[in-house]
Amino acid sequence: MKEDPSKNLMSVTRRSLLAGIAAIPLLSITGMPLLAADYPTATVNTTGLAVTDDTVKVGILHSVTGTMAISETGSVQAEKLAIEQINAMGGVLGRKIEFIQEDGASDWPTFAEKAKKLLVQDKAAAVFGCWTSASRKAVLPVFEQYNGMLYYPTFYEGLEESPNVIYTGQEATQQILAGIDWVVKEKGAKSFYLLGSDYIWPRTSNKIARKHIEKLGLEVVGEEYYPLGHTQFNSVINKIKLKKPDVIYAIVVGGSNVAFYKQLKAAGIDLAKEKPLLLTISVTEDEILGIGGENMAGAYAMMKYFQSLDNDNNKAFVEAFKKMWGDDIVIGDVTQAAYLGPWLWKAAVEKAGSFDIDKIKAASPGIELTTAPEGYVKIHENHHLWSKARVGHAQLDGQYKVVYETSELMEPDPFPEGYQ
């Protein structure tokens, strides 16, 4: 009896299907490359985007100069790698991706100007970019007005849900809640000291953490903020010594990190002893390069991705990344999230069978990526990703060792009830 091959495929359990696909990393989730001839430009591009019979233009918009360049460079590299790999597989709907790179120069108005240029003048079919919340807020009205598509890689504070943005990083509750539960359960933490840089992301994240801690019936013994770029943390370190919290929950951002962790060590707080334990959501492998592994060792970080993650997708990703950008490179959480952007866009375009922004918007929810270095992700109705939350333990060599991951994917919840 002859069996219908498609039926046969369906009968395979989803788990083994996923495992099978994961074993061939970076293969398109829809299988064989699609031919441009099957998708005439006139039908896949009805709104005048920069799509020709054999190319499609996209934008990369990050800071490669200024204070944010150190953080955003990894994202640029990841996006270029993804684009190169997609092109090597035959592109998107048979069209090679060409990218136009613009520099946001760590300056929010410049981001808005360049975003407009990419959409209005270059007619970019998608833009991969932005890093800080401020830059995203600056470009958001531009993307909504000119109907563009932005793939935003950074973990962020939530409180936003735009049809024109796919948020490939974690929103605050995904990043924080599981980690706090873990530290309470595994380490018996009872009191927390919250501190952070003074802007919307640390403040909102701390608000969510505080509500969660208080719901668990535990205590927040202090909460403080310092301006971006602040380098004198001695007074807060003294207060921490005085109050003796079980956990320092730190969201210090950018260059301030270097001063903070060095001063902690100088003040005799050895993170490896975990008295107090340090929990952060703002230090990825990229930041440890600046802080120094010896100053950071023993701290815990809550993220969804660490370079040391042990799975086949990630091995292939790390190898390809190092091949393209050099062996000394480290890969942080946001870099991985940036890498997802072009792949998610490709999947959406292929699902929609069109480059039209409105069709991509409609097609995006439900898209899965089994080849993601972090494992498996899926786009939620609210344009954020379902993903696992993980806790990493900082090692002397500047890498994190994964000590905990949630068994289920965390649902993204940008407007969390009861946490506002």
Partner 1 sequence: MTSDTQLFKPREWVALAILAAIILIVIPIGVDTFRLNLVGKYLTYAFVAIGLVLCWGLGGILSLGQGIFFGLGGYCMAMFLKLEASTPEATKIQSTPGIPDFMDWNQITELPFWWQPFHSLSFTLVAIVAVPAIFAYIIGAAMFKRRVGGVYFAIITQAVAAILTILIIGQQGYTGGVNGITDLRTLLGWDIRTDDAKTVLYFVNAVLLIACLVAAQFVRVSKFGRLLVAMRDREDRVRFSGYDVANFKIFIFCLAAAFSAIGGAMFTLQVGFMSPSFVGIVPSIEMVIFCAVGGRMSLFGAVYGALLVNFAKTTFSESFPELWLFAMGGLFIAVVMAFPNGLAGVFRDHVEPALLKLAQRLPLWRAGGVPLSSSAK
User: Which positions lie near partner 1, rule CB under 8 A?
Assistant: 64-65, 101-103, 105, 107-110, 112-114, 116-117, 120-121, 133-134, 137-138, 140-141, 145, 157, 159, 198-200, 203-204, 207, 227-228, 415, 420
105 vs 301, which CB is nearer to partner 1?
A: 105
> What are the angstrom distances between the C-alpha of 392 and each of 139, 298, 400?
32, 10, 5
* CA 108/CA 367 separation, integer angstroms: 31
Which one, 85 or 204, has the nearer CB to partner 1?
204
3-state secondary structure of 400: strand
Both tokens assigned to 383: 């344009």
Q: Please identify, using beta-carbon distances, which residue of 112 and 176 lies nearer to partner 1.
A: 112
Output the six-digit token pair for 59.
């934008």
CB of 91 to partner 1, least distance (A): 23
How many CB atoms within 10 Å of residue 295? Answer: 21
Residue closer to partner 1, measured from CB, 145 or 232:
145
Q: Which two tokens stand for residue 40?
A: 């005439």
In terms of CB distance, is 102 or 350 closer to partner 1?
A: 102
With beta carbons less than 8 A apart as the criterion, state whether 209 and 173 touch: no
Residues shown for the chain: 420
CB of 7 to partner 1, least distance (A): 45
Q: Closest distance between partner 1 and the C-beta of residue 251, in Å?
A: 14
Q: How far apart are CB 419 and partner 1 at their closest, in Å?
A: 11
Question: Maximum CA pair distance of the chain?
Answer: 79
- Residue 165 tokens, joined: 């943005």
**Cα dist from 413 to 61, 90, 366, 383, 384, whole Å:** 26, 35, 16, 10, 8
Q: How far is the CB of 196 from partner 1 (least distance, A)?
A: 12
In sequence order, the β-bridge partners of residue 165 are 150
* Phi, psi of 163, rounded to the nearest 5 degrees: -65, -20
Give min distance, CB of 256 to partner 1, in A: 13
In the complex, what is the shortest distance from the CB of residue 312 to partner 1, in angstroms, rounded to a whole number? 34
* Minimum CB–partner distance for residue 157 and partner 1 (Å): 8
Identify which of residues 146 and 308 has a Cβ nearer to partner 1 in the complex: 146
CA pair distance 268, 281, nearest whole angstrom: 23
> Which lies closer to partner 1 via its Cβ, residue 137 or residue 265?
137
**Which one, 26 or 69, has the nearer CB to partner 1?**
69
Token reading at 364: 């995006």
Element (H, E) at 197: strand 191-197
